[in-house]
Amino acid sequence: MHYSQFTQRIAGEGAAAWDLHLAAVEAKRAGRDVIVLSIGDPEFNSPAAVTESAIAGLRAGDTHYADILGLPRARAAVATQHSRQTGQMVGPENVAIVAGAQGGLFCAAMCILEPGDDAIVLEPMYVTYEATIQAGGANLIRVPLRAENGFRLDLDDLARAVTPKTRAIFFATPSNPTGVVLNRRELVGIAELARKHDLWVVSDEVYSTIVFDGEHVSICGLDGMAERTVTINSLSKSHAMTGWRAGWIVGPQELIGHVANLGLTNLYGLPPFIQNAAALALETPVPEVASMREAYRRRRDLAVAALGQLPGIVCRKPAAGMFMLADVRGTGLSGHDYAWRLFRETGVAVLDATAFGQSAAGHVRISFAIDEATLAEACRRIAGFTKSLGKAA
């Protein structure tokens, strides 16, 4: 049977990134001694008050269709939170509730990119960006961030990537997988380019509440950027609510209208009991958010201390998020071979960072989304495996 070219555009190299992770999940379900460090799914439970709100909504029959763009309460809660966090004053009319940050990225790409347009992405990039941007026929233009520069942005490289076909710049800050937080100077430079060339900016900020070093700055709050910035966020990481698929877009009102039309063709509105619970999470103080951030900080420090002095490995201490990149080129193995051998010999699953782009080749991504005792055991196994490589040589 024939399939559309769309199926090729959404395949992308990143789609194969999860082969090792899926193998690890299957092995764990089969009862094998496996530690999964290959995905950022927090082991924390969702905040109790938020969960109880959803349960109460279900019992009260809050299970019918909701507004396509989101319930007024949810949109207002996002607008208030966004205004407070970013300095960009917005209202509910600037908000669309979507199925997680990934749903927001897809909506943004579909609504601002034409077939044949170029969309610049800072690489390493999250694995779904490639297929998301290519889905509508746009071209992905990579601006590599070099490992030797700490994966920081070189604004000259970005400027050279802009052509008459460029329509948008996509990036995540804090970054997954690097944990780098774009600083104000870098964001000002991006904003200047966007204004000069009349470009959209899509800023993925799902890790903005998990910053350990420095400050998170939102580009939407810079001069002249409100009308050209799409900000993506969610409760998945900040509130350990990955399975709830509670995310949002903030942008110009006209864009939100187009997102509504797109919503008619797919999601048709997030379930209302989820939206009301998500609104509660944004309206009221949730102490678990701060405690989870501190737990991730401790786990980061644990992993850096355990792995940072190993022969053949260079650990890049992340400033934010729940991942660390480890450069394993000194072991003589590629990231792919290191990850698969580590899994087969120790049961620890990490992700070959080449999935995030060639600029991350030779690295593996290690997740902190497990409890400290299990992470410590995983680090012990990683250390033993890595030392054995040196002995074998």
Cβ contacts of 315 within 8 Å, gap of 6 or more: 303, 304, 307, 308, 324, 325, 326, 327
* Phi, psi for residue 249 in degrees, rounded to 5: -115, 140
Smallest CA-to-CA distance from 225 within 184, 180, 190, 276 is with 190
Taking residues 296-306, report their average pLDDT. 97
DSSP state string for 283-346: HS--HHHHHHHHHHHHHHHHHHHHHTT-TT-EEE--SBSSEEEEE-GGGT--HHHHHHHHHHHH
Condensed to tens digits (0 to 9), the pLDDT of residues 118-173 reads 999 999 999 899 999 999 999 999 999 999 999 999 999 999 999 999 999 999 99
Q: How confident is the model at residue 15 (pLDDT cuts 50, 70, 90)?
A: low
Taking residues 289-313, report their average pLDDT. 95
Amino acid at 56: A
Taking residues 275-280, report their average pLDDT. 98
pLDDT at 28 exceeding the cut of 90? yes
The beta strand positions in the chain, using DSSP E, are 35-36, 95-99, 118-123, 139-144, 166-172, 200-204, 229-234, 246-250, 314-316, 323-327, 348-349, 351-352, 363-367
User: What span, in angstroms and rounded, lies between the C-alpha atoms of 233 and 108?
Assistant: 12
pLDDT at 391 exceeding the cut of 90? no
Condensed to tens digits (0 to 9), the pLDDT of residues 40-68 reads 889 999 999 999 999 999 999 999 999 99
User: What span, in angstroms and rounded, lies between the C-alpha atoms of 68 and 268?
Assistant: 5
| Tokens read off for 196 | 């000069």
Q: How confident is the model at residue 182 (pLDDT cuts 50, 70, 90)?
A: very high
Position 392 scores a pLDDT of 56
- Mean pLDDT, the chain, whole residue set: 95
Q: How confident is the model at residue 18 (pLDDT cuts 50, 70, 90)?
A: confident
Taking residues 109-115, report their average pLDDT. 97
The pairing of beta strand 118-123 with beta strand 363-367: unpaired
pLDDT at 209 exceeding the cut of 90? yes
Condensed to tens digits (0 to 9), the pLDDT of residues 226-259 reads 999 999 999 999 999 999 999 999 999 999 999 9
pLDDT at 393 exceeding the cut of 70? no
| Tokens read off for 260 | 């509504």
198 dihedral zone (left: phi>0; alpha: psi -120 to 50; beta): left
Report the predicted TM-score, pTM, of the whole model to 2 decimal places. Answer: 0.95
- Domains of the chain (ranges; CATH) run 6-45+288-392 (3.90.1150.10), 49-283 (3.40.640.10)
User: What span, in angstroms and rounded, lies between the C-alpha atoms of 320 and 189?
Assistant: 21
